[in-house]
């Protein structure tokens, strides 16, 4: 149960990460089905923090605020030549021992690592920090090529806008795909970027011009998930050789045709499971799995639970308002 959320800023603050935190947990989005969070901003000490651009942040809560937090948002750490203060490390460890969930943005992973909470775990951080983090904390498996890593009660996000993806992932995990999608729609961002998607996406939106062919095929794929088109067929549809299609596809989406299709299928399956009473067999058929077993297999692998459990967990919590697709 996540109700009390505390963001921890350090010796400076980044407007983007802090903005993501306030946007996601500060505003009342109970009309979308989220709980109303008790959101607070804490610091190592109270008082003023300055960003490099003249913004001034007034910190009203000290680290004691972490002691009743269900979710702690670790803001980026500023300087890898400075060790996080003992008081901060203690507070973070206490929160973890108490059962709170900890989430780091960008270089905030440094604080979690310094507290020893990432030992033996996978984690990510901003790609510019990945080498330093891995060198300083050899017990941490640093993966700079993903948007976020979910280790249960500890989640680490990559840099910059990946904080958005991390939060949407948490919403999806805790409250289901429909609510996460509704929040994404409210923020006018794409509903779901898979955690494993690389940070180095050359061009998120394919450039116009000669890749129109690819754009058309992507649209077709999205609308025809139930068609089990092979890469060869898709390439033919795009008027390219399979090899070139694969390359253009990766440049445009950051992933491969099969992985992309699978992610889309699972996402759509989630929505059908949450919002309808269709038998799992029928859900599988509609989103392009030949058999329910195939859907179940992938569902367990990527989401950790079988479709039936997923449906049981999320269907009852959804408020039926809100989600008119015209939104």
Supply the DSSP symbol for 25: I
Looking at residues 143 to 162 of the shown chain, list those that interact with DNA (rule: CB under 7 A): none
The residue within the footprint of DNA, chosen from 257, 274, 280, 299 (CB under 7 A), is: 257
In this complex, which beta carbon is closest to DNA, that of residue 92 or of residue 221?
A: 221
State the Cα–Cα distance between residues 243 and 223, nearest whole angstrom.
23
Least distance from DNA to the Cβ atom of residue 37, Å: 35
Phi, psi for residue 101 in degrees, rounded to 5: -95, 135
Stretch that binds DNA, among 14-22, 119-127, 151-159, 236-244 (CB under 7 A): 236-244
Least distance from DNA to the Cβ atom of residue 300, Å: 10
What is the chain's Cα-based Rg?
21
Give the strand pairing for 47-50 and 56-59: antiparallel
State the Cα–Cα distance between residues 254 and 197, nearest whole angstrom.
6
Least distance from DNA to the Cβ atom of residue 229, Å: 7
Supply the DSSP symbol for 26: I
Least distance from DNA to the Cβ atom of residue 294, Å: 4
Told to check if 247 binds DNA by CB under 7 A, we report: yes
State the Cα–Cα distance between residues 121 and 250, nearest whole angstrom.
28
The residue within the footprint of DNA, chosen from 294, 317, 321, 327 (CB under 7 A), is: 294
Q: What is the 3-state secondary structure (H, E, C) of 198-257?
A: CCCCCCCCCCCCCCHHHHHHHHHHHHCCCCCCCHHHHHHHCCCCHHHHHHHHHHHHCCCH
Told to check if 321 binds DNA by CB under 7 A, we report: no
In this complex, which beta carbon is closest to DNA, that of residue 285 or of residue 315?
A: 285
State the number of binding residues for DNA (CB under 7 A): 26
Told to check if 300 binds DNA by CB under 7 A, we report: no
Stretch that binds DNA, among 19-27, 55-63, 230-238, 314-322 (CB under 7 A): 230-238
Stretch that binds DNA, among 22-30, 49-57, 155-163, 249-257 (CB under 7 A): 249-257
Task: Map tokens 């203690």 to a residue.
Answer: 90
Stretch that binds DNA, among 126-134, 149-157, 163-171, 235-243 (CB under 7 A): 235-243
Told to check if 224 binds DNA by CB under 7 A, we report: no
Q: Within a 10 A sphere around the Cβ of 42, how many other Cβ atoms?
A: 24
């Amino acid at each position: 149960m996540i109700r009390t959320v505390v963001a921890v800023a350090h010796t400076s603050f980044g407007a983007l990460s802090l903005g993501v935190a306030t946007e996601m947990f500060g505003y009342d989005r109970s009309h979308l089905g989220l709980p109303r969070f008790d959101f607070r901003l804490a610091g190592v000490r109270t008082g003023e923090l300055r960003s490099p651009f003249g913004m001034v942040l007034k910190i009203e809560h000290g680290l004691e605020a972490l002691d009743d937090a269900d979710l702690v948002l670790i803001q980026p750490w500023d300087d890898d030549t400075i060790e996080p203060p003992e008081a901060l490390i203690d507070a973070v460890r206490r929160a973890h021992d108490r059962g709170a969930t900890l989430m780091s943005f960008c270089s905030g992973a440094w604080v979690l690592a310094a507290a020893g909470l990432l030992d033996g775990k996978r984690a990510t951080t901003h790609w510019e920090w990945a080498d330093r983090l891995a060198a300083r904390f050899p017990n941490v498996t640093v993966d700079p090529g993903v948007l976020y890593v979910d280790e249960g009660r500890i989640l680490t996000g990559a840099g910059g806008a990946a904080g958005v993806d991390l939060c949407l992932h948490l919403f999806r995990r805790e409250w289901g795909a429909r609510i996460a999608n509704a929040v994404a729609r409210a923020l006018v961002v794409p509903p779901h970027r898979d955690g494993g998607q690389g940070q180095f996406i050359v061009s998120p939106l394919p450039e116009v011009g000669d890749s129109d062919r690819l754009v058309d095929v992507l649209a077709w794929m999205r609308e025809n998930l139930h068609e089990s088109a092979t890469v060869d067929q898709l390439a033919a549809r795009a008027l390219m050789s399979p090899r070139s299609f694969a390359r253009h596809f990766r440049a445009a989406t950051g992933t491969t045709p099969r992985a992309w299709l699978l992610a889309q299928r699972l996402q759509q399956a989630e929505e059908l499971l949450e919002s309808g009473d269709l038998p799992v067999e029928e859900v599988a058929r509609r989103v392009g799995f030949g058999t329910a077993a195939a859907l179940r297999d992938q569902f367990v692998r990527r989401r950790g639970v079988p479709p039936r459990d997923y449906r049981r967990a999320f269907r009852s919590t959804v408020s039926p308002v809100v989600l008119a697709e015209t939104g």
